[in-house]
């Protein structure tokens, strides 16, 4: 399997993206902001389709839309906007993506007919040398930022009032984190697609949170589990050509979460029993 260039490209790029998805996803779960990751997937799709309609590389739209959305989400969170209003707005964004899709398929899909499908479902087996190198470079940069801000971000997550009183720039950290999430979603969309990018962000992170209550252990475990999701999913897709890689990757993510949930529940039972009167 590893002798095939398209497999090695998929595994290298997938691993790079999985690590940063795991690190960012853990804080999304810890901070209760999984909704933001879901919203960014919708925005990534709309941004990519807007770029295609404009005749641009979809990556331009992916990164521009998700980074701007990250800043906007930071401002919205700061002002405490209503969740219903936010959800309605992002639903409209997704509808706008559908509008761009309709225009693109009726006017411009002859230029790059599979681009819209790749945005939705990713193209992990279609990654070339340039895309692989870009994925590794972007993921490395995002990973460094996440590691640098991890300690103060954890402090701000656990006790924002005390963190702010201690001089931690909680608002700036929150906005920066959401921008990093946006860029992470933009890169991951090219690998597994906008529709299911949330699975790689949330499932390994939620599994890690089930398996350990120690934040730093969970932080790194989430990255390890996300990497395992990619490797297992790609291996299954290679072994069973009829199974799309996106399906096998997300099925693996869901399975890992279910296993972690069972293990986590069993691990808590003795404590609950001993605590009973």
pLDDT, tens digit, for every residue of 44-71? 888 888 888 888 888 888 889 888 888 8
Residue 14 lies in a domain: yes
pLDDT at 272 over 50: no
Pick the most confident of 84-88, 189-193, 229-233.
229-233
Q: At what angle do helices 197-211 and 170-192 cross, to 10 degrees?
A: 120
Structural domain for 160, as ranges? 5-197
Cβ(208)–Cβ(99) below 8 Å? no
Q: What is the pLDDT of residue 275?
A: 42
In a domain, 274, yes or no: no
Within-domain flag for 231: no
Question: Region 234-241: what's the mean pLDDT?
Answer: 91
Q: In Å, how far from its chain's centre is CA 6?
A: 23
Domain count of the fold of the chain: 1
Measured between alpha carbons, how far is 129 from 13 in angstroms, rounded to an integer? 10
Specify the CATH number for the domain of residue 193.
1.10.3470.10
Assigned domain for 59 exists: yes
268, 262 contact by CB (below 8 A): no
Would you state the pLDDT for residue 223? 95
CA–CA separation, 230 and 139 (whole Å)? 15
pLDDT of residue 81: 53
pLDDT in the model for residue 276: 39
pLDDT at 256 over 70: yes
Residue 260 belongs to a domain: no
Task: Please report whether residue 172 resides in a domain.
Answer: yes
* Residue 236, in any domain of the structure: no
Cα 179 → chain centroid: 12
Q: How many CB atoms lie within 10 A of CB 147?
A: 11
Residue 108, in any domain of the structure: yes
């Amino acid at each position: 399997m590893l002798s095939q260039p398209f497999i090695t490209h998929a595994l290298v790029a997938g691993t790079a993206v999985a690590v940063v998805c795991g690190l960012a996803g853990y804080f999304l779960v810890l901070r209760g902001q999984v909704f933001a990751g879901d919203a960014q997937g919708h925005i990534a799709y709309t941004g990519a389709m807007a770029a295609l309609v404009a005749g641009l590389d979809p990556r331009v739209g992916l990164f521009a839309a998700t980074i701007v959305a990250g800043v906007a989400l930071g401002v919205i969170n700061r002002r405490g906007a209503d969740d219903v209003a936010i959800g309605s707005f992002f639903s409209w964004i997704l509808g706008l993506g559908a509008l761009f899709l309709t225009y693109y398929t009726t006017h411009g899909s002859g230029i790059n007919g599979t681009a819209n499908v790749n945005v939705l479902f990713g193209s992990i087996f279609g990654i070339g040398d340039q895309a692989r190198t870009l994925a590794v470079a972007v993921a490395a940069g995002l990973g460094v930022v996440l590691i640098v801000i991890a300690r103060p971000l954890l402090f701000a997550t656990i006790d924002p009032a005390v963190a702010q009183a201690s001089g931690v720039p909680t608002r700036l950290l929150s906005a920066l984190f959401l921008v990093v999430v946006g860029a992470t979603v933009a890169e991951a969309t090219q690998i597994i697609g906008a529709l299911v990018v949330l699975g790689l962000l949330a499932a390994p992170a939620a599994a890690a949170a089930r398996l350990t209550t120690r934040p730093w252990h969970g932080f790194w475990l989430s990255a390890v589990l996300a990497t395992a999701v990619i490797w297992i999913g790609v291996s299954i897709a290679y072994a069973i050509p009829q199974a799309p890689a996106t399906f096998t990757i997300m099925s693996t993510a869901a399975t890992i979460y279910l296993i972690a949930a069972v293990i986590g529940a069993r691990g808590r039972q003795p404590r609950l029993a001993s605590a009973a009167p």
